Every structure is written in structure tokens, then in C-alpha cells.
């Protein structure tokens, strides 16, 4: 028995061809979904791009004072972050300057810029700093160029609030009275608020010659 040949209209065949072509194009255009570790990285990226860091009022709390903590001898101090322009992780080589005070160690070349290097402990307490792996140099701006202050140790960032400063005390040591505006307790640590502005403007600091 002869099989009857099916007859399809040209319009119907063309319509099916168009649908098959559209399906193929859609499968090509559809992005491949990542899996495994790549999927995890893609999710991290998506969440990072969608993260809102917050408005400045949420980042800078009222009454919050951001500072850099450092140690000189047995004393711990804090200075405003805006008072320290750079921190050197190790003292640079220095060239000594004749006929100057012992606390002026000399001048150092820091990336093409000459800075005066001062032993802060010797300036404040007349005791030379014993340089260890913890010693750091705080670079401070002053009139006529930057100055580097050699300290025994960097304590990192400290944040003080108005509540922390409510019970602040004055400075009893006459050697520090000009530079330490107040002493506050932060946990078990007593921190002297050290003014770099007062230091760099002090006549005895500005005149290092003998």
C-alpha cells in the first residue's frame, strides 16, 4: 500500500523555519550561567558593585577624633591623622650635619625629597632612641620642608570620642607641657594628645644649631 505523501504549504514551512532560527539565536544570546568557584566570584563581584558605603554622616560620627598612636620611651601619645603626612616603616640612611643639636640626626633623602630626621625621644627626654624593628618615622609638615620624627613604636590608629575625653587630665611633666594638650584613658592605656603643630612651632625645635 503506497504511503500518502504529506503536503505542507510553503507558508507553514517558512513559519517553522523562522521559529527554529529564533530559538537558535536565543540559545546563543542567552548568557552561560557560571558554576562552581567562578559562580562564587561572580556573586562577590555583584554584591560588591551593589554595596552602598553609606553617606558621610554615617562614616564620620559626630565628636569622633581620629588619631595615630605612637610610643616614645615609656610614654604613649596620639596625634591627629591630619598632622602626620606619612609613616616610614624604617629609619632611612641619614647624612649628619655639623654643629647641630644631638637630637637632629641629619638629613635623609626620601624619594628625592630631603627631610630633617629628629630623634623625638632625645629631643623630649634627652635619651637617645635605641632603634629596633618596631621603630618608625612619622613625617610631619612644617614651614620650610618636612621633618621626620623617629619614635620607638607605632601603635596604629586610635579613635577618641567626646566621652573618652570627658575625664581628660593635664600634663604634669614640664618637658611635655607645651606639646601635650591633655591626657585621656583609652582602655588601660593613658594617651597624651600630642600636638605636632606646637612641636614644629617651638623655638627650641626650630633652632637646631649649637
Instruction: Map grid coordinates 594617651 to a residue.
Output: 191
Q: What is the DSSP string of 82-109?
A: GG--EEESSPPPEE--SSB-TTEEEEEE
- Would you state the pLDDT for residue 23? 52
pLDDT digit string (tens) for 55-74?
343 345 668 999 999 999 99
Tens-level pLDDT at each residue, the chain (210 residues): 444 444 555 555 555 655 555 554 444 444 444 454 445 445 544 554 444 444 343 345 668 999 999 999 999 999 999 999 999 999 999 999 999 999 999 999 999 999 999 999 999 999 999 999 999 999 999 887 899 999 999 999 999 999 999 889 999 999 999 999 999 999 999 999 999 999 999 999 999 988
- Would you state the pLDDT for residue 8? 52
Instruction: Report d(CA 18, CA 24) in Å as an integer.
Output: 10
- Per domain, the residue ranges of the chain are 63-206
Percentage, residues of the chain above pLDDT 90 = 64
pLDDT digit string (tens) for 17-36?
555 555 544 444 444 444 54
Please answer whether residues 165 and 76 qualify as being in contact, where contact means their C-beta atoms are separated by less than 8 angstroms.
no
C-alpha distances in Å from residue 106, one per residue of 6, 34, 94, 206: 102, 59, 5, 14
Q: Which CATH number fits domain 63-206: 2.40.50.180, 1.10.340.30, 2.60.40.60, 2.120.10.70?
A: 2.40.50.180
Amino acid at each position: 500500500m503506497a504511503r500518502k505523501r504529506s503536503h505542507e504549504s510553503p507558508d507553514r514551512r517558512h513559519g517553522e523555519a523562522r521559529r527554529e532560527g529564533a530559538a537558535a539565536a536565543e540559545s546563543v544570546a542567552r548568557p552561560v550561567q557560571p558554576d562552581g568557584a567562578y559562580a562564587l566570584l561572580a556573586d562577590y563581584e555583584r554584591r560588591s558593585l551593589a554595596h552602598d558605603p553609606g553617606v558621610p554622616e554615617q562614616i564620620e560620627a559626630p565628636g569622633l577624633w581620629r588619631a595615630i598612636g605612637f610610643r616614645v620611651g615609656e610614654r604613649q601619645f596620639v596625634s591627629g591623622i591630619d598632622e602626620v603626612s606619612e609613616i616610614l616603616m624604617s629609619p632611612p640612611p641619614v647624612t649628619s650635619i655639623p654643629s647641630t643639636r644631638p637630637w637632629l640626626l641629619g638629613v635623609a633623602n626620601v624619594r628625592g625629597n630631603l627631610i630633617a630626621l629628629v630623634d623625638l625621644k632625645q629631643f623630649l627626654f634627652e635619651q637617645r632612641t635605641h632603634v629596633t624593628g618596631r621603630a618608625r618615622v612619622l613625617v610631619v609638615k612644617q614651614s620650610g620642608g618636612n621633618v621626620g620624627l623617629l619614635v620607638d613604636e607605632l601603635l596604629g590608629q586610635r579613635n577618641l570620642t567626646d566621652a573618652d575625653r570627658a575625664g581628660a587630665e593635664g600634663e604634669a611633666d614640664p618637658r611635655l607641657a607645651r606639646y601635650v594638650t591633655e591626657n585621656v584613658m583609652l582602655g588601660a592605656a593613658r594617651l597624651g594628645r600630642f600636638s605636632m603643630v606646637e612641636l614644629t612651632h617651638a623655638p627650641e625645635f626650630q633652632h637646631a644649631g649649637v
